[in-house]
Amino acid sequence: MQQSRSPKHKVLRRIGVCFAIAAGALAASLAHADYLWLQAEGGRTRVYAGELHKPLGRLPALQDTKVVLAEGRSAAYEQAADHFSLAEGGAGDVRFAATRPGPDGVLTYYQARFGRTETQAVNDLELVPTEPGGNTFRLMFKGRPVAASQVNVDTSEGWYRVLTPAKDGTVSFTPAFPGLYVLEVTARVNNGSVTVDGRKYDDVRHTATLSFEVPR
């Protein structure tokens, strides 16, 4: 099911995502956080922060930044003021992960993926196509399928949708035109606290994106 942009949907976009999981590990996030996403530029893959149409002019303070390729392989990357730049990663989709201990007491795990050729999840929270190059996606949390209450889709062309899941928990849409597509979900961990550098965080969130290009 696809919903068009409206003031109501802009509000929904800020609510976050609720997952149906037996252990009740994840619940709706109260506020939408900035996310990381990957896109191809000049023969390299770059990682930006913020939102697709509102990128941050400077990267936030991130920890544990890393590139993750298929089968656990890693790759080098460079950091500029407003983005990370990844070297050619070879075959398969490319993933980038980072952690942000926020001054507001929120610990956020960012997990971004570029490409939709692989049908297996690698990041803790990841949207995965049900078939290579497909338009139906399943959300996975630590290897288990979970149902998102919504998935936000933004594009380089300004087209935006809020997707709601089917009965089997998947979300689907048909890319309407060439360009960059970014799918995003955000969730809070219930009853989960993490200590980083001696500070305890009771508000722990996961924000994941899947981006891909539809060629002209």
Model's pTM, two decimal places? 0.83
DSSP symbols for 111-137 = EEEE-S---S--SSEEEEESSTT-SEE
Q: Among the residues of the chain, which ranges form H helices?
A: 7-13
Strand partners, 96: 67, 112
| Helix (H/G/I), strand (E/B), else coil: 82 | coil
Tokens found for residue 100? 């942000």
Distance CA 52, CA 162 (A): 15
Is the distance from CB of 178 to CB of 215 less than 8 angstroms? Answer: yes
The two tokens of residue 192 are 């989960």
Query: Which residue matches tokens 């922060």?
Result: 49
pLDDT tens, the chain, 216 aa long: 444 443 333 322 333 344 433 334 555 433 455 899 999 988 889 999 999 999 999 999 999 999 977 666 667 899 999 999 987 555 678 999 999 998 888 899 999 999 999 999 999 999 999 999 999 999 999 889 987 888 999 999 999 999 998 888 899 999 989 999 999 998 887 766 788 888 888 888 899 999 999 998
With CA atoms as reference, report the closest residue to 153 among 21, 37, 25, 18. 37
